[in-house]
Amino acid sequence: MTSWGRAFLVLLKKELLLEARGKELLTLLLCSSLMIAILVGSGVSSAVLDAHTTRKLYPMLLWIVFLLTATTASVRVSEAELEGRGFEGLFLAGVTGPQLYMAKVCVATLLFFLDWVLLVLLLGLALDQRISEVLPTLLKIGLGSSIALAALIVLLSAVTGTSRLRGVLLPLVTIPLLFPLFFAGVEMTTACLLYGALESGSIWPSIVLLSATVFVLVGINTYELALRE
């Protein structure tokens, strides 16, 4: 294994240990998802909607809640290093921006994917949706979207890191950039629920893949610069 790879694995372990110790991002994600899912389920139940209408609403509600909970919790992605000036120490130790960026993206992807799984199940129960048959496809959609979301949020957390209003600024900057991912996700989830599978030749998976690729490439090349500015 190369020195780059060994350093990356050390950083990945560091990120996992930080999250395991504090559990700040995971707790914020899961608690906010649980509360919002309960509220959404109660609201839809009180509206007395028929099963077909509820099934059409499920994808949109799922994606709105997923993106909102992820962006609001994202302020904790780099909080430990920002508070303790940890980035300066890492750079002095010879860590490169791409290594640090990819380690954070991997851990954030894992946490966002867990949030996606929880929301799929919770909203499925709250809205009385049978999703067992399409669950594998929904998990694939969630994994690809989690990578794109993590790549963008980790980068923007560095851009807004020096601002005192980063808790407000980060979601405001992130949400408009997620519109393509939101539309693609809603379309793919709707196709899965209504037709049982994605349509052949659909452009929506390509949009998710393109978004993830662009966000990762931009992040790799600009993350260190954003932290040093």
Average pLDDT over residues 55-59: 85
Average pLDDT of the chain, as a whole number:
81
> Is 116 within 8 Å of 185 (Cβ atoms)?
no
Q: Residue 79 pLDDT > 80, yes or no? A: no
pLDDT of residue 224: 80
Domain count, the chain: 1
In this structure, the chain runs to a length of: 229
* pLDDT tens string 170-187: 778 888 888 999 999 999
Instruction: Provide the sign of the torsion angle of the four alpha carbons 167, 168, 173, 178, taken in this order.
Output: positive
E strand or H helix at 160: none
* pLDDT tens string 186-218: 999 988 888 877 777 789 899 999 999 999 999
> Is 55 within 8 Å of 134 (Cβ atoms)?
no
pLDDT of residue 167: 64
Task: Copy the structure tokens of residue 137.
Answer: 């496809």
How far, in Å, CA of 144 to CA of 72, rounded?
20
How far, in Å, CA of 123 to CA of 33, rounded?
10
How far, in Å, CA of 7 to CA of 25, rounded?
24
Q: Residue 147 pLDDT > 90, yes or no? A: yes
Average pLDDT over residues 219-223: 88
* pLDDT tens string 31-54: 888 888 888 777 776 666 666 777
How far, in Å, CA of 118 to CA of 159, rounded?
29
Task: Give the range of the structural domain holding residue 55, as residue numbers without chain letter.
Answer: 3-228
pTM given for the model: 0.87
pLDDT of residue 71: 85
